[in-house]
Amino acid sequence: MVSAKGLWVSNERVEQLHAQAARTRSHLLEVAGVALSTDSAVSLNAIAKSAGVGIGTLYRHFPTREDLVFELYRGEVRELAGAADALLGELAPGEALRRWLDRYADYVMAKAGLVSALRTGTTVHGRLAQQAYAPVSAAIERLLAANRGIGGVRTGFTADDLLLATDGLYNLDPAGDWRPRAARLFDLVLAGLR
Amino acid sequence: MVSAKGLWVSNERVEQLHAQAARTRSHLLEVAGVALSTDSAVSLNAIAKSAGVGIGTLYRHFPTREDLVFELYRGEVRELAGAADALLGELAPGEALRRWLDRYADYVMAKAGLVSALRTGTTVHGRLAQQAYAPVSAAIERLLAANRGIGGVRTGFTADDLLLATDGLYNLDPAGDWRPRAARLFDLVLAGLR
DNA sequence: ACCTGAACACCGTTCAAGT
DNA sequence: ACCTGAACACCGTTCAAGT
pLDDT at A87: 98
Q: CB distance B185–A165 less than 8 Å?
A: yes
Q: Could you give phi then psi for residue B166, rounded to 5 degrees?
A: -110, 10
pLDDT at A86: 97
Percent of chain B with pLDDT over 70: 84
Q: What is the pLDDT of residues B117-129, one digit of tens each?
A: 665 444 455 666 7
Q: What is the pLDDT of residues A158-178, one digit of tens each?
A: 999 999 999 999 888 888 899
The residue of chain A nearest to residue B122, with distances taken between CA atoms, is A116
Assess whether pLDDT exceeds 50 at residue A153.
yes
Assess whether pLDDT exceeds 90 at residue A142.
yes
Q: Could you give phi then psi for residue A98, rounded to 5 degrees?
A: -65, -45
Q: What is the pLDDT of residues A84-105, one digit of tens each?
A: 999 999 999 999 999 999 999 9
Give the gap in angstroms from C-alpha A172 to the nearest C-alpha of chain B: 7
Choose the weakest-confidence range: A99-103, A119-123, B18-22, B173-177.
A119-123
Burial tier of A78 (Cβ tally within 10 Å: 0-12, 13-18, 19+):
middle
Separation between the CA of B5 and the C1’ of C18 (whole angstroms):
13
Q: How confident is the model at residue A40 (pLDDT cuts 50, 70, 90)?
A: confident
Mean pLDDT of chain B: 86
pLDDT at A174: 83
Q: At what angle do helices A93-110 and A127-149 cross, to 10 degrees?
A: 160
Q: What is the C-alpha R_g of chain A?
A: 21
Contact assessment for residue B91 and residue B99, using Cβ atoms and an 8 Å cutoff:
yes
Query: What is the rounded distance in angstroms from the CA atom of residue A57 to the CA atom of residue A21?
Result: 9
Nucleotides of D under 7 A from a protein CB: 1-7, 10-16, 18-19
Q: How confident is the model at residue B5 (pLDDT cuts 50, 70, 90)?
A: very low
Query: What is the rounded distance in angstroms from the CA atom of residue A180 to the CA atom of residue B156?
Result: 13
Q: What is the pLDDT of residues A47-87, one digit of tens each?
A: 999 999 999 999 999 999 888 988 988 878 888 999 999 99
Local structure of residue A50 (DSSP, 8 states): H
Assess whether pLDDT exceeds 90 at residue B4.
no
pLDDT at B3: 43
Contact assessment for residue B51 and residue B27, using Cβ atoms and an 8 Å cutoff:
yes
Assess whether pLDDT exceeds 50 at residue A1.
no
The residue of chain A nearest to residue B118, with distances taken between CA atoms, is A122
Which residues sit opposite B8 in a β-bridge? B2
Q: CB distance B165–A170 less than 8 Å?
A: no
Assess whether pLDDT exceeds 90 at residue A14.
no
3-state SS track over B131-168: HHHHHHHHHHHHHHHHHHHCCCCCCCCCHHHHHHHCHH
pLDDT at B31: 96
pLDDT at B126: 60
pLDDT at A4: 42
Which residues are within 7 Å of strand C by their Cβ atom? A 3-5, 7, 9, 14, 17-18, 20-21, 24, 52-57, 59-61; B 5, 7, 43-46, 55-56, 59, 63-65
Mean pLDDT of chain A: 86
Q: Say which of B168, B188, B190 has its CB closest to residue A168.
A: B168
pLDDT at A2: 44
Contact assessment for residue B191 and residue A153, using Cβ atoms and an 8 Å cutoff:
no
Give the gap in angstroms from C-alpha B64 to the nearest C-alpha of chain A: 18
Q: Give the HSE-up count for residue B84: Cα atoms under 13 Å, Cβ half-sphere.
A: 21
Assess whether pLDDT exceeds 90 at residue B159.
yes
Separation between the CA of B179 and the C1’ of C15 (whole angstroms):
50
Choose the weakest-confidence range: A113-122, B86-95, B151-160.
A113-122
Query: What is the rounded distance in angstroms from the CA atom of residue A108 to the CA atom of residue A172?
Result: 10
Percent of chain A with pLDDT over 90: 60
Interface of A with B (CB under 8 A): 40-41, 112-113, 116-117, 119, 121-125, 157-158, 160-168, 170-173, 176, 181, 184-185, 187-193
pLDDT at A78: 87
Residue bearing the bigger pLDDT, A73 or B11: A73
Buried b (16+ CB within 10 A) or exposed e, B143-177: bbebbbeeebbeeebebbbbbbbbbbbbbbeeeee
Residue bearing the bigger pLDDT, B21 or A6: B21
Q: Give the C-alpha distances (Å, rounded to integers) separating A135 from B23, B87, B130.
A: 54, 41, 33
Q: Could you give phi then psi for residue A59, rounded to 5 degrees?
A: -65, -30
Q: What is the pLDDT of residues B172-184, one digit of tens each?
A: 888 889 999 999 9
Assess whether pLDDT exceeds 90 at residue B54.
yes
Helix (H, G, I), strand (E, B) or coil at A130: helix
- Does the CA dihedral B46-B49-B54-B57 come out positive or negative? negative
The residue of chain A nearest to residue B167, with distances taken between CA atoms, is A168
pLDDT at A35: 92
Q: Which residues contact B174 (CB under 8 A, 6 or more apart)?
A: B109, B110, B112
Separation between the CA of A173 and the C1’ of D3 (whole angstroms):
39
Query: What is the rounded distance in angstroms from the CA atom of residue B93 to the CA atom of residue A83?
Result: 42
Residue bearing the bigger pLDDT, A108 or B1: A108
Contact assessment for residue B66 and residue B89, using Cβ atoms and an 8 Å cutoff:
no
Query: What is the rounded distance in angstroms from the CA atom of residue A26 to the CA atom of residue A34?
Result: 13
pLDDT at B124: 53
| Chain A CB contacts of B125 below 8 Å | 171-173, 176
Separation between the CA of A184 and the C1’ of C10 (whole angstroms):
45
Q: Report, as an integer, the average pLDDT of A13-41.
A: 86
Query: What is the rounded distance in angstroms from the CA atom of residue B162 to the CA atom of residue A184?
Result: 10
Assess whether pLDDT exceeds 50 at residue A8.
no
Choose the weakest-confidence range: A86-90, A123-127, B80-84, B121-125.
B121-125
Query: What is the rounded distance in angstroms from the CA atom of residue A167 to the CA atom of residue B167?
Result: 6
pLDDT at A17: 65
